[in-house]
Amino acid sequence: MNLLTLKNDFPRLEKKINALPPRQPYCIYDCELPPGCSPARATVCFSKTRGYYELFLDTQIQYAGNNNALQLLCSGQHQLFPSYAEMWQFLRELPPGQPAPPDSAPIRESPQMPDFGHMAATGAITVPSRAMKKTVDYETLRRELSKSIVGQEEAVETISFQLALHLNKSNPKRPISFLAWGPPGTGKSETAKVLASCLSWLTGHEYSTICTQLNTFTAAHDVSRLTGSSPGYIGYDDKAVFETVTDNPYTIFVGDELDKAHPDVAKVYMSVLDDGKLSSPKELANGSRELDFRHCIFIFTSNYCLDITAPKLGFSLADDVTQVSFQDNAVDVDYRQEEAPSENRAEQTKRIYAKTESARKAFINAGTLREIASRFTSFLEYKELTDEAKIRILAKQILETGFEYGIRLTHIAPGILQALANASLSGNALTVRSFKSVIEGHLAEPFANAGIQYPGQRVRLEGTIDVPSILPETFRDGGDRG
């Protein structure tokens, strides 16, 4: 068939697409593309996930024409549409191909395949994935992470830079790994949680996070909790930490406080980071005994101070907050900024490499085995949070608390923000985790009432900390904004 036939048949596909499991594509094979496309045929795929409809080709196509819709489709990117009608409209904008002759072959759609299990051992055979993956852009990833990871511009820059390089590999040989070091409560573990959400959206793969407190893995036999117990031993039937990769090959494994784990535990990770694979002591659901981590991300944390000095990068923040606003489920706080001198990619690569190697040497000097420290792709320094960063985190936590009560804050009165800052930062709180109790202590009741009165609505937090007032967004400066 060709695109012209596909457009004519498009309405009847809605029921089939909606019946699919999330992210399972419905494919139209060997579809003839319009003139100017090379190759001239491709598989057209449809899927539905996260409330969006997706349309994409199974391979990148060279297109010499000037049709904007076809240029987007041939780029290899997944085209996302909020509704089926919008996807149909996009397809209608594509140029027609040659009409199919009356006696042309029937449409080759995704067939309902019979069970061939009795004919051959198909479970032992693997085929290359044909799903197109999205290109991950460094600047986009850095911007998205910066919305939630506050006050750690250098760590966000490094992880975004290294991940953009790694995730664009079509066939990685091993997983990427990071050692995040610095004081507690500065955002090391939070980075991994935010990263899963960002990558799920940017890459088209659904990332999950598995967190392990390695400070409890203090004995050599704790290795079995990672890899699984041998037959006949206690825990053989329990699902090991590493075995979760069989549920999702795109998993972010977080190992907190690696420096407190037994050396044998660290050596198991070393093997995984080296080879990207690990043998399982028992047969897996797919019939194999091999765990594949090549598409995984490993983030380890340590409270070591590796005492690295490096020039400040990115931008410097002023002391005063000028605006707090909500956008895309993140907090935007406006400050006066001074842009740092720009650097080219070569300078950036050299600086990140030099800082990683300095941290690697310091990690070894702190008592970590050299062969383990050498396996980490990069080291991320998490610094003590500045007062400006703490204020931004405080504002972010106020908005997140509002989400929990069912309201969407778009404005926080400066007087309330200042009062909560005074209450949270007085007494030299060790971490920003304690901010949550201060916020709820002052605002739980008005937030709960607003959640009943304005469920799901955009509201403004006005008044004072003693008499807070939550009003619909339309009420501003005493009147309706519209």
Other beta carbons within 10 angstroms of residue 307's beta carbon come to: 10
Six token digits for residue 303: 């409270």
Q: Convert the pLDDT of each residue in 288-331 to its tens digit.
A: 788 899 999 999 988 777 765 543 333 333 344 455 555 544 45
Q: Specify the pLDDT at position 479.
A: 46
Other beta carbons within 10 angstroms of residue 388's beta carbon come to: 18
Question: Would strands 37-38 and 62-63 be described as parallel, antiparallel, or unpaired?
Answer: antiparallel
Q: Specify the pLDDT at position 252.
A: 92
CA distance 450 to 177: 43
Closest residue by Cα to residue 99 from 3, 223, 216, 239: 3
DSSP 396: H
Sign of CA dihedral 274, 276, 282, 288: negative
SS3 107: coil
CA 6 to mean position of chain CA atoms: 34
SS3 331: strand
DSSP 95: P
29 exposure class (CB count in 10 Å sphere: 0-12, 13-18, 19+): middle
Closest residue by Cα to residue 460 from 336, 318, 328, 323: 323
Q: Convert the pLDDT of each residue in 50-92 to its tens digit.
A: 667 888 887 778 887 788 788 888 877 778 777 787 788 888 7
Other beta carbons within 10 angstroms of residue 247's beta carbon come to: 11
Six token digits for residue 263: 């050396």
Q: Among residues of the chain, what percentage have pLDDT more than 90?
A: 3
Q: Which top CATH class is 387-480? A: mainly alpha
> Is the separation of the CB atoms in 424 and 473 below 8 Å?
no
Integer CA distances (angstroms), 274 to 164, 173, 290, in order: 20, 9, 15
Question: Would strands 297-302 and 251-256 be described as parallel, antiparallel, or unpaired?
Answer: parallel
Sign of CA dihedral 315, 158, 248, 261: negative
Q: Which top CATH class is 138-318+339-373? A: alpha beta
SS3 94: coil
Which strands form 458-463's sheet, in the order they lie side by side? 408-412, 458-463, 468-472
Six token digits for residue 74: 């041939």
| Per-residue tens of pLDDT for the chain, all 482 residues | 566 566 566 666 777 777 777 667 777 777 888 888 888 888 888 887 766 788 888 777 888 778 878 888 887 777 877 778 778 888 878 876 544 444 433 434 433 434 434 444 444 444 444 344 567 788 888 888 888 787 888 888 989 989 988 988 878 888 999 988 888 778 887 888 888 888 887 887 888 899 989 889 888 888 888 887 766 666 566 778 888 888 888 999 998 888 888 888 888 888 888 888 888 877 776 667 888 999 999 999 887 777 655 433 333 333 444 555 555 444 555 545 444 456 777 788 888 888 888 888 887 777 666 777 788 888 888 888 777 788 888 888 888 888 888 888 888 888 888 888 888 776 555 566 667 788 888 888 889 998 888 887 888 899 888 898 888 876 554 444 43
Domain boundaries, the chain: 3-92, 138-318+339-373, 387-480
